[in-house]
Structure 1
Amino acid sequence: MSTLHVAGLRCEYLQNPLGVTVKAPRFSWKLSSDLFHVLQGAYRIQVSKEDAGFAPSSLVWDSGVVASDQSVHVEYAGEPLEAMTRYYYRVQVWDRSHHSTDWSEVAHWEMGLLTPEDWQAEWITPDPAVLDPKSEAAFLLRKEFALQPGIRRAALFATSLGLYELQLNGAKVGDSLFTPGWTSYRHRLQVQAYDVTDQLKETNAIGATLANGWYKGNLGWQGKSELFGDTRALLLQLQVWYEDGSQEMLVSDASWRAAAGPILMSELYHGESYDARLEHPGWSLPGFDETRWASVASVSHPKDLLVGEQSERIRVTGQLKPVAVLRTPSGETVLDMGQNMVGRMRFTVEAPAGAKVTLQHAEVLDKEGNFYTGNLRSAKQTVTYVCKGGVEETYEPTFSFQGFRYVKLEGFPEPIDPERFVGSVIHTDMEPAGFFECSNELINKLQSNIVWGQRGNFLDVPTDCPQRDERLGWTGDAQVFIRTAAFNYGVAPFFTKWLKDLMADQRPDGGVPFVIPNVLGETSHSSAAWGDAAVICPWTIYLCYGDRRILEEQYDSMKSWVEYIRSQGDNELLWNTGFHFGDWLGLDAKENSYIGATPKDLIATAFYAYSTSLVAKTAVVLGHEQEAEQYGKLHERIVEEFAREFITPNGRLAGHTQTSHVLALMFDLVQGETKARLAATLASYVEEQKVHLTTGFVGTPYLCHVLSSNGYHELAVKLMQQEDYPSWLYTVRQGATTIWEHWDGIKEDGSFWSDNMNSYNHYAYGAIGDWLYRVVCGIELDERLPGYKRIVLQPNPNSGLTYARAALDSLYGVIRSEWSKAGDGSITYSFEVPANTTALIRFSSTGTPTPLVNGRSASAADGVLSVNTFNNQVELEVGSGRYTIIAK
């Protein structure tokens, strides 16, 4: 008997989200069945306000039976949704044979505060006449309150200017860190929602700690602080519903009390200083003596910029124990965590009152084996703890994170017990999505490094590095890596949130700041390949998740960027004005220059063409026919002008670099004989370097893709698997556990690249992961049915490996592509296609007849819809299911 199940319910990508402020939330679910070629024929969604059931009287929406194969991003279309209300939903599905599932398990979401008028709370901060709210020390706020018995549900909404952490009745509220997160604070400030029903009693106390964070703290390499404001403040509202139907509200207001706390300094770059002797034991418990605490004052700050969260929160996602305690040649005591990580150290110490212990964090040791902090620049990455004494004390920082593998210890009693130290790995808690493995262990380590680089730098915004005095949301880094990021993790909520900040910080003329949120000022904006994140990132999210809404929301921003470029200079078809980073860190740069040799105007015009093409495609998706035609024609004219400006009549490119040829080919700026000639020239340039690259940030992400798609896949394979400098595997050979900013961050003799800009956790060059997934294992999508509704599986076993396997947990379910070679020359392919999708499987086979599928002839195999063979190529159209194919 066949089975059909529906599971994996999500609302706006998330499982049971709280504080939703989207007017029409969208639902997604996954189907599973033991049959082949299962497609959804219809669905039904019911939404209720009541937990007990879905009686007709409780329903706010019943979609009825809708004939549709849509199972992702189905938009709510019921009664208007109410603030602070929990809604329950369930889904039933029919396949095309009219078999139905049972009702799914019930999931829920909870609406947040939807308008400024929903807020009764006030912004509060310590009364400056008593306690300086602008000091470097974090301060505490508290409120004691009583409730009636019979609490049914309680929801707490909070945000702050600065970072906050809440405690309720002595326990932390939630498990998230660095709330309210980092947004374009001048335009958008996130509100967190918490279900605190189980933490409340009849007598209660709530406490909040506020620190500088991104709002008030040090940002950037120029030592600037208070870029968004100089006063920290809390906004909090607690709503309680009782079993008898009554409600009660607690808000932040003048009745709260404030005090200085034990955190004397907390900065994202510099670390944290904590004096345990200044603690207030029981300060967030009822009955605490607050008579010596100060009053609070109201702060005037708008509430119309408050928004609900759209991304997952920052959390501790793992823990690492030290792998060694080292004594360096200089006599330093250093913990080796075995992995370059981002997070914080938790430690336990027993020492006299007033004793001070210090932890300093760094990524690498120098060639003598000593602790090295030169590449941190001004970032101190130091945690200082002063003991209260007499007991065993455990501590870890609250409002600071570090990028590190090594930790130098000072002041700790000897001998050092590594069991007293734990590293907490911290990043945005995205859902893991992808997996890649092959027969080359160095490549497997590279894949691990790519994932760790993403984990370290996807901390609420896509940062360039997590250790030095920077850690900013560089647009160029984000756009070159986003496709790889979407294989490793589910990043749609993460980028949805960040792109809203990009749009908020975008200039009135359409220019895009170098970093988002923008902290570099009004003049730091609009470099080619950086500003193009405004177009490339939303289009990539649309492709990978089938998310039409992100195009709707970002469309004006996307157009504005293209129009900004169009308005530069005298020729609207070329971009040859303004500042550009060029092929940043290209190895063909002139001496003492960061910028590669590829002409900047060639790069700028190539990206201008590419972004214009994506805007045209977006207009088609959104049904804007006139603008689709307008931008389509503009793209054609840019391509023609590119050829006139940069390509000779004989088909040679003006820029004699690898990157110039990569861009012309990747962005389809050449066709026919010219395309073939440029591909051959690119291949010769790679071979002239003894099969090494000279590309920088702009060319490297596309280099192997271009070689593979233009008939030089074997060269791409050799290039990717080089082990000497410069190469991806050189860094692995040098002991890297994340991706480096420079190919020679550590040189062959053990010396370092310049301290000025030398991150050992910088994910941009990790974009090669995209090629591993899409080319080596062949997991590709069909743009006409995005989000992997129609999958293309075209693995390439001619990749210098004996096996490779990859998987991606898409919105429809797991997509899997594996291949392995046997000694007799046969290749075994294994594929998995999730329910409610179809796939094109394409592979080479020199044998006859057509290879067997699951032990049967392809034309007779379950799930195979059609078979086509040509030029030793086999193409199978298949439905959902698992397939094993053996070919020559």
Structure 2
Amino acid sequence: MPIPDRRSFLASGAMLGLGAAPIIAAPTSNDRLGVKRLRCAMRDAPLGLGDERPTLSWQLEGPAGTFQQAYRILVASSPALLAGGHGDLWDSKRIEGAHSTGIAYAGQPLRSSQICHWKVAIWDRSDRQAWSAAARWEMGLVAAADWEGKWLAVEDEVERNDRLAGAQWVDAPASGATDARSFRLPFSSGEGEATLFVMADGVMSDLKIDGSPLALPVRDPAAFGGAPALKVALKLAAGNHAITLRVAPAPGYFVKPIVALAAQLRQVGPGGVTERITQGWEVGTGKEGMWARADVAAEQPHFPWPPTPARLLCRTFMHEGKHDKARLHVAALGGYRIWLNGKRVNKDELQAEPSDYSNSIPCRTYDVSHLVLEGQNSLGVMAGDGFYASYQAPDGRYSYGAAPRRLKLCLDITQANGEIVRVGSDDDWRHAPAPVQMSEIYAGEDQGLRLWPRDWHRPRFVPANWAPVLEAPDPGAGIVAACCEPIRVICTLEPITVRKMGVARHIVDFGQIFAGRVRLRVHGREGQEIRVRHAELLTAQGELDRRNLRAARAADHYWLRGDGREEVLEPVFTYQGFRYAEIEGVPDLDANMISALVLSTALEETGTFSIDQPELQKLWLNTLWSQRSNFMGIPTDCPQRDERLGWTGDAQLFWDTASFMMDTGAFTRSFTRILRNAQNSRGAYPLWPPGSGRSNWGMARRHRDGRTQGSCCPMSLSFIAATGRSSTRIGQP
């Protein structure tokens, strides 16, 4: 039997997926014909839409056998015009056909922040007509010119100066697959404290200052990726010094023929002025005591700076008169949480969500009409590492672009007279250190609760000692509106058991493996340390079994304010996958003091399964919890270890099941946009976060949305062509 042409075969399958099946109504108990659940871009009443030609859909209802024969869409600029039957933005007129999903808006050009009111009429085979209730969608900032202001740098002045001084990469030929090369930095200093930042492309060992060993962190040998950049505090006497270290090739399938390092030494120079040394490294020649100048590496990638504290940013502004609406548009390279006049503007978590930030920066729009006050107002932001700056295996920190973390905001207040007042990213922002001293996705979070300034995000707060926020370089990538629901807390779990394991140590069982956080309510003394560690399993002795976490610290540390009031302990910019939590530092832990917050992309759960066989029922329930835990902005492979990547082999196999259990339409569109951004000019994909063309089609055709399918078509064909160029035969094992 001849082997079919793969391009024709795959293309024919794809086209079958594009075909529109007849739309049959959901049965009702009477003869009423109706239209319900109007959706735009596969979302209910979306806010901040970035697509200027969004797709529209609806559901038909009526007695059994009802069939849609034709439809008409009206889109108007006001509710009054729509109610009067006038679609000044678009009147599709009557269109024969059963289509009710993926219908692209084809009306007047849409402008930023425009509200579109719409409804649908349908006719059945008897030519009976039914109109839907009115629905709406609202545009975001659709053009780059609509974003005013600058990017705010989430860094202090010392961090900024470190970044600007940089770190020069030097390299040397590797002596062998396991042999290390020696490097040395001779320098002179004044007396005082110094900080060394150093990163090796290879395995670093034997770090010393003037012959005295410096401790290196222990790295799990099974870690997915190399060690991150190291920050070492030094105390130097005035005089001459030398830093020495060794770098060996990293083991693996491919051993690089060179080893390299980059470093910066911030110190007090001989003249008493702070200086930053980034050059002058030498490499051992192989002869005893002989050193030669190290070669400057031909490529100079950006330096992946170690974690730095989060920052608090605030800005006050005056607002006079009544307003009709207020919208806050936010884009970030890093994590953020926002307050307006002391109240959180949303329930979103882990923003900004995972994205290929080098190609596009996601933006979210929030309705803050109810939070804007007449008179003085205050915007407050806590910004941290988030997904942008955190270690992402195996590439390390800042894998999508250079420091600093960045934030851009536009608050548009529409007055009753139609005038728009804008508060943006300008020179009036001030910043200070945040209580979150360290935050990384894999590692967890460290919080010093004594660092919270009282009422810092309220209108009457005066940031007297806060420094002006510095401007950050433009990242170059475009800002695009998020096209899926955000990550949120979808449910709360209470402890099944709380076991006391020591004087001030307890192990809590939440009864279910999930992705999320621990929330702890305690009273304690000032500076009291409390640690929360996470695990999916227990050892035979009842202790946490964390071996599968590899290099992920997966722990949160807190130091209490201790002012006599109850303190709520909960991380902000991270999450873990676990069932068990070890709480250390609380002498008496009651079940009422602790709960678990389950995080996931907030998708509607649309499918259920019930059977009287416990094993099969549990299998389905485990599948549902796996989807909840791994749909975290992107479809990840796991929620717990040092990985949590968008491996699309996992997604490809699971997508049909996922789409029966949840409404994955907008999530699919969001992920396929990431896939498009990651595909190279030859049609190939990296291993993550994108996937194969087949995976794209399988995801897209599940929802019968022409826009998603259409966007997948070119990249799928490009991938198939690339596969054809790299293989000579089909059907070979």
Query: TM-score w.r.t. structure 1 length?
Result: 0.61
**1:764 — aligned with what?**
none
Displacement of 1:543: 3.1
* Contact 1:131–1:260 under 8 Å retained in 2: no
Matched with 1:530 is none
Residue number in structure 2 paired with 1:728 = none
Give the SS at the match of 1:91.
strand
**Which residue matches 2:40?**
11
Task: Tell me the amino acid that sits aligned with residue 138 of structure 1.
Answer: A
- Map Cα deviations across residues 405-445 of structure 1 (whole Å, 9 max, x no partner): 0000100131x111111111001111112112223110000
- Give, in whole Å, the separation in 2 of the partners of 1:181 and 1:222: 18
2:342 aligned with 1:170, yes or no?
A: yes
Q: 2:371 aligns with which of 199, 216, 234?
A: 199
For the residue of structure 1 that corresponds to 2:469, the secondary structure is: strand
Name which of 506, 513, 536 aligns with 1:333: 506
Deviation at 1:562, TM superposition (A): 1.4
- What corresponds to 1:869 in structure 2? none
Q: Which residue of 1 aligns with 2:724?
A: 566
Matched, 1:48 2:76: yes
Cα deviation for residue 551 of structure 1 reads 2.5
**1:42, distance to aligned residue in structure 2 (A):** 2.0
Deviations 1:372-419 (A, max 9, x none): 1111111111111111111111121110101000000100131x1111
- Name the SS for the 1:354 alignment partner: coil
The alignment status of 1:428 with 2:597, answered yes or no, reads no
Q: How many angstroms does 1:222 deviate by?
A: 6.7
Partner of residue 393, structure 1: 567
2:516 is aligned with 1:343 = yes
Matches of 1:80 and 1:39 in 2, distance apart?
32
Q: Which residue does the alignment assign to 1:354?
A: 527
Instruction: Show CA shifts across 1:184-218 (max 9, x none).
Output: 11101111011111110122100111111121111
* TM superposition shift of 1:458: 0.7
Q: Which residue of 1 aligns with 2:654?
A: 481
Change (3 A) 1:179 1:223: closer
For 1:566 and 1:536, locate their aligned partners in 2 and report how far apart those are by CA, in whole Å: 14
Counterpart code for 2:142:
L
1:404 maps to what in 2? 578
Q: Provide, for residues 843-870 of structure 1, a one-character-per-residue CA deviation record: whole Å limited to 9, x for no partner.
A: xxxxxxxxxxxxxxxxxxxxxxxxxxxx
* Higher relative contact order, chain-length normalized (CA < 8 Å, sep 6+): 2
Query: RMSD in angstroms over aligned alpha carbons?
Result: 2.0
Contact 2:55–2:707 (8 Å) recurs in 1: no
User: Any residues of structure 2 matched to 1:690-701 within 5 Å, and which?
Assistant: none
Closer, same or farther in 2 for the Cα pair 1:275/1:267, shift >3 Å? same
Match of 2:137 in 1: 109
Contact persistence 2:358–2:400 (CA under 8 A): no
Maintained 8 Å contact 1:269/1:379: yes
Counterpart residue number, 1:552: 710
Unaligned runs of 5+ in 1: 518-532, 575-637, 647-888
Equivalent residue, structure 1, for 2:287: none
**Contact 1:321 1:421 (8 Å CA) reproduced:** yes
Query: Aligned AA for 1:66?
Result: I
C-alpha displacement of 1:286: 0.6
> Aligned letter for 1:136?
T
Instruction: Say whether the 8 Å CA contact 1:162–1:213 is kept in structure 2.
Output: yes
Distance 2:692 2:361 in 1: 21
**Letter matched to residue 403 of structure 1:** G
Contact 1:329 1:368 in 2 (8 A): no
Paired letter, 2:35: V
Q: Distance in 1 between matches of 2:41 and 2:324?
A: 26
The answer for the alignment partner of 2:359 in structure 1 is: 187
Alpha-carbon contact 2:155-2:311 (below 8 Å) kept: no
Residues in 1 aligned to 2:74 and 2:645: alpha-carbon distance in whole angstroms: 43
Tell me the secondary structure at the aligned position of residue 299 of structure 1.
coil
**Cα separation, 2, equivalents of 1:332 and 1:278:** 26
**1:159 aligned to which of 310, 315, 331:** 331
Q: Which residue identity is paired with 1:149?
A: G
Pairing partner for 1:277 from 450, 463, 470: 450
* Residue of 102, 121, 145 corresponding to 1:92: 121
**Which residue does the alignment assign to 1:2?**
31
Distance 1:224 1:161, change over 3 A: closer
Report the CA distance shift for 1:224/1:163 in structure 2 as closer, same or farther (over 3 A).
Answer: closer
Rounded Cα–Cα distance in structure 2 between residues aligned with 1:166 and 1:205: 11
The answer for the alignment partner of 1:293 in structure 2 is 466
TM-score, with length taken from structure 2:
0.73
Q: Is the 8 A contact 1:376 1:468 kept in 2?
A: yes
Judging changes above 3 Å, is the alpha-carbon distance between structure 1 residues 57 and 331 closer, same or farther for their aligned structure 2 residues? closer
Q: Are residues 541 and 423 of structure 1, via their aligned partners in 2, closer, same or farther at CA, if it must alter by over 3 Å?
A: same
- Quick check: 1:37 aligned with 2:57? no
Provide, for residues 50-87 of structure 1, a one-character-per-residue CA deviation record: whole Å limited to 9, x for no partner.
23452467731122232222111222111111111111
Deviations along 1:782-837, one digit per CA (max 9) or x if unpaired, are: xxxxxxxxxxxxxxxxxxxxxxxxxxxxxxxxxxxxxxxxxxxxxxxxxxxxxxxx
> Matched residues in 2 for 1:469 and 1:365: separation?
19
1:218: which partner in 2? 391
1:92 Cα deviation from its structure 2 partner? 2.1
What do the CA deviations read for 1:18-63 (whole angstroms, capped 9, x no partner)? 1111121111111211x22101122222212223452467731122
**Do the aligned residues in 2 keep the contact of 1:130 with 1:294 (CA within 8 Å)?**
no
Code of the residue aligned with 2:572 in structure 1: it is: T
Instruction: Confirm or deny that 1:514 pairs with 2:687.
Output: yes
- Counterpart position of 1:634: none
Q: CA deviation at 1:568?
A: 1.7
CA contact (8 A) 1:464 1:471 kept: yes
Q: Following TM superposition, by how much is the alpha carbon of 1:477 offset from its aligned partner in structure 2, in angstroms?
A: 1.2
Aligned to 2:240: none
Cα 1:542–1:230 change in 2 (3 A) is closer
Note the C-alpha offset of 1:332.
Answer: 5.1
Partners of 1:262 and 1:379 in 2: CA distance: 22
Taking structure 1 as reference, are residues 85 and 371 closer, same or farther at Cα in structure 2, changes over 3 Å only? Answer: same
- Paired residues of 2:154 and 2:310 also in contact (CA < 8 A): no
- Counterpart amino acid of residue 118 in structure 2: Y
TM superposition shift of 1:304: 5.2
- Native 8 Å contact 2:154 2:404 kept in 1: no
Contact 2:389 2:397 in 1 (8 A): no
Aligned residue identity for 2:312: L
In the TM superposition, what are the counterparts of 1:644-655 in structure 2 within 5 Å? none
Q: Is the 8 A contact 1:49 1:86 kept in 2?
A: yes
Given that 1:538 and 1:550 are in contact with CA atoms closer than 8 Å, whether structure 2 keeps it comes out as: no
Query: What one-letter code is carried by the residue in structure 2 that aligns with 1:124?
Result: L
Cα deviations by residue, 1:251-309 (Å, 9 ceiling, x for unpaired): 11111111111111111111111111100121111110201001112112146521111
- Secondary structure, in 3 states, of the residue corresponding to 1:19? strand
Runs of 4+ in 1 over 6 A off after TM superposition: none
Q: How far does residue 448 in structure 1 lie from its aligned partner after superposition?
A: 0.2
**CA deviation map 1:583-626 (0-9, x unaligned):** xxxxxxxxxxxxxxxxxxxxxxxxxxxxxxxxxxxxxxxxxxxx
Aligned-partner SS, 1:501: helix
Could you say if the C-alpha distance between residues 224 and 60 of structure 1 is closer, same or farther in structure 2, counting changes exceeding 3 Å?
closer
Task: Indicate which of 251, 260, 266 corresponds to 2:424.
Answer: 251
Summarize the Cα distance change of 1:120–1:129 in structure 2 as closer, same or farther, 3 Å threshold.
same
**Structure 1: distance between partners of 2:723 and 2:655:** 22
The answer to which structure has the higher helix fraction is 1
Gap regions ≥5 residues in structure 2: 1-29, 164-304
Give the strand-richer structure, 1 or 2: 2
- How high is the sequence identity, in percent, across the aligned residues? 33
Show the 5 A alignment for 1:765-804.
none
Aligned amino acid, residue 106 of structure 1: A
Q: Which residue of 2 aligns with 1:77?
A: 106
Q: Contact 1:165 / 1:210 at 8 angstroms: preserved in 2?
A: yes
One-letter amino acid of the structure 1 residue matched with residue 107 of structure 2: G
Q: Which position in structure 1 is the counterpart of 2:696?
A: 538
CA shift at 1:229, angstroms? 2.2
Equivalent residue runs for 1:418-817 within 5 Å: 418-516=591-689, 533-568=691-726, 572=728, 574=729, 638=730, 642=731
Match of 2:315 among 143, 146, 154: 143
